[in-house]
Amino acid sequence: MAEQLPVQEIIRHIRSQFRDGQPNGWLQNWDESRLFTQVSIAAAPHEVLNCTTFDYAFCNWYEIPISTGHNDWILTIKLSFIVPAYCMYWTEHDTVTGGSVAPIAPMGYQNLEDKVRFAAESAGLFELPSEWHDHEVQGVTLDLSNTSNVTIDKCLFCDHDN
């Protein structure tokens, strides 16, 4: 299990990795299926989708779709290549409101989340505290965000333009 890095150490790693421009997972031969087997075992009997792409992302991206009969849910797991960190969150989808991030697991699925968390931490990753995701990182340029609103979340997981 990896020890949680202090926020300033994470920023130091980000600046180092992005020093010569945005890292490209395709060119760096990052493993598109890193820990997929472990996450799949932890999530059984649920299906795990590998949504990994390195176009604007710096992580493995896995999704576990769950249908509860009323709403559809997705547990998203992102495993950073920049530092040994991961994030995980639930998204609730329904026909009325569309989709939104949920603050907690749907009823009866906390155990699934705990098993996936255990798999990630057993592989040496720590969960990035939620309050650090929006922490700004100066001195880094991203493809979509450029130099404005560059955050730890965007540098560790996926660049997006909002």
pTM: 0.93
Q: Which CATH class is domain 7-156?
A: alpha beta
10: left (phi over 0), alpha (psi -120 to 50) or beta: alpha
pLDDT digits (tens, 9 = 90+) for 87-105: 999 998 876 666 778 778 8
Instruction: Sketch the domain layout of the chain as residue ranges.
Output: 7-156
Q: Residue 60, CB half-sphere, CA atoms under 13 Å: how many?
A: 22
User: By mean pLDDT, which of 43-47, 66-70, 85-89, 110-114 is the weakest?
Assistant: 66-70
Answer yes or no: are the C-beta atoms of 84 and 95 closer than 8 Å. Answer: no
